[in-house]
Amino acid sequence: MSWKRWLFGRRELTLALACVAVAAVFQFLSPYFLTPDNLITILRNSVELLLVSLGITFVLATAGIDIAVGGALGICAIFVGWSVQGGWPFVLVVLIGPLVGTALGLVSAFLIVQGKIPPIIATLGLFGVYRAAIFLLLGGSWISGLPDALGPAVNTTIAGIPLTAIYILFFYFIGWIVIRWVPLGIAIRATGGNERAARLSGVSIGRTKFFVYGFTGLLVGFAAFLYVARYRNVETSTGGLIALDAIVASVLGGTSVLGGKANLLGAMFGVLLVRLLQNGFVLIGVPSLWEQVITGALLIAVLILDALTERSHAQSRPRQRGNAQRGLATQ
């Protein structure tokens, strides 16, 4: 029992083991899987998702959800693309994505806090609006063939460490500080755990939510900057499925959709596992059209597994059963 709890009680460890197991299976099926080239490809493809998942982890921790991030990423990417085309100063090119992203995040927060609209409805509505806006802004044609002005921002390495890895570590470090060491972090978890109790104990729910959605927007905006720097074009499908991928990664990472919990390291491993799976299935010859099915099924599977383990935990500790039942009744 104790070794099991030690091994499976820590989400990051379980996930790391899962990553190794998945990698082993794919290596068995396709010798190309564990080559340095492919591993670098997987890590590179994880960059934007890592940023968005960090934001989504915060959002989920407040018992919220944001499915408009894909559309927001597309809009931010368009602005970044325009700024490159317009030859803006580098600082502005870097800042425009996060600025637009933060503004869009604050729009979500405004609807959720001031309009008291459930997050799923607000962000589903915005998702439709953003999709339309992307078509409108692009006018039906892609932004493509951008000059490689932003290349250095993603291709540079410092002492052998890629700059993109430093961005990721920087943002996750900030996230960790916020969630672990700053009163705001407690406010975030308290809001998700029990919003009414948090309000009664003096937490400013509105401010907390504004921060969470705004921060997510900022990360989405920076992800858009990295996207444009890497691919040097913006198409109408930019951002596409990233909302689902990010939710899956966060939930895989041990963040509950019911709020109150945030696991940043877990989210990182969650992203890795999602991208490993997506890459591996393509390598063994599964058409990429299956990606949606696999990711959706993964989400359902994790939710079911989590619910089942939680239930068996509750049953193995009879003294806490009363609490568990009361908890259910109040939901």
Partner 1 sequence: MISAFKQIRFGGLLVLWLIALVIFAVFAPDFFTPANFNSVLQFSTLLALVTLGQTLVVLSGGGGIDLSVGGIVSLSGLVIAALMKTGVPAFIAAPAGVLCGGVLGSINGFIITRLRLLPLIVTLGTYYAYNGLALALTGGAPISGLPVSFGLLGQNSILAIPLHTLVLVVPVFLVMQFTLNQTPLGRWIYAVGSNEKAARLVGLPVDMIRVGVYTLSGVLAALAGLMADSWLLSARPNIGDNLELLSLTATLLGGTSIFGGSGGLGGSLAAVLFFTSLQVGLQMLNVNSIWQLGLVGIFLIGSVLLDRMIRTAETK
The whole-angstrom separation of Cα 247 and Cα 251 is 6
Query: Mask: binding to partner 1, 38-67, rule CB under 8 A, as x and -?
Result: ---------------------------x-x
Contact 104, 75 (CB under 8 A): yes
Q: Which of 94, 195 has the CB closer to partner 1?
A: 195
Residue 129 CB coordination number (10 Å):
13
b/e sequence 71-93, b meaning 16+ C-beta within 10 Å? bbbbbbbbbbbbbbeeebeeeeb
Shortest Å distance, C-beta 316 to partner 1: 18
Is the four-CA dihedral 185, 189, 195, 197 of positive or negative sign?
Answer: negative
Instruction: Kindly indicate which of the ranges 6-14, 24-32, 184-192, 283-291 contains the residues binding partner 1, using the contact rule CB under 8 A.
Output: 283-291
Q: Is 7 in the site for partner 1 (CB under 8 A)?
A: no
**Binding span for partner 1 by CB under 8 A among 90-98, 154-162, 251-259, 264-272:** 251-259
**Residue 300 interacts with partner 1 (CB under 8 A)?**
yes
Name residue, tokens 């009363």: 322
| Least Cβ distance, residue 152 to partner 1 (angstroms) | 36
Q: In this structure, what DSSP letter does residue 290 have?
A: G
CB of 157 to partner 1, least distance (A): 36
CB closer to partner 1 out of 24 and 124: 124
Nearest approach, Cβ of residue 257 and partner 1 (Å):
5
Question: Which of residues 36, 86, 287, 318 is near partner 1 by CB under 8 A?
Answer: 287
Nearest residue to 11 (alpha-carbon basis) of 57, 64, 44, 79: 57
Instruction: Figure out which of the listed residues 26, 79, 127, 222 binds partner 1, where binding follows CB under 8 A.
Output: 127
Q: Which residue has the tokens 């951002």?
A: 239
Structure tokens at 104: 């869009």
At its nearest, how many Å lie between partner 1 and the CB of residue 65?
7
Binding to partner 1 (CB under 8 A) within 135-154 occurs at: 135-136
Inter-residue long-range contacts of 287-290, CB under 8 Å, 24+ positions, other chains counted:
none
Q: Is the dihedral of CA 153, 155, 160, 162 positive or negative?
A: positive
Interface with partner 1 in residues 210-249 (CB under 8 A): 241, 244, 247
DSSP element (H, E) containing 157: strand 157-158
Residues found near partner 1 in the complex (CB under 8 A): 65, 67, 111, 115-118, 120-122, 124-133, 135-136, 241, 244, 247, 251, 257-258, 287, 289-297, 299-300, 303-304, 307-308, 311, 328-329, 331
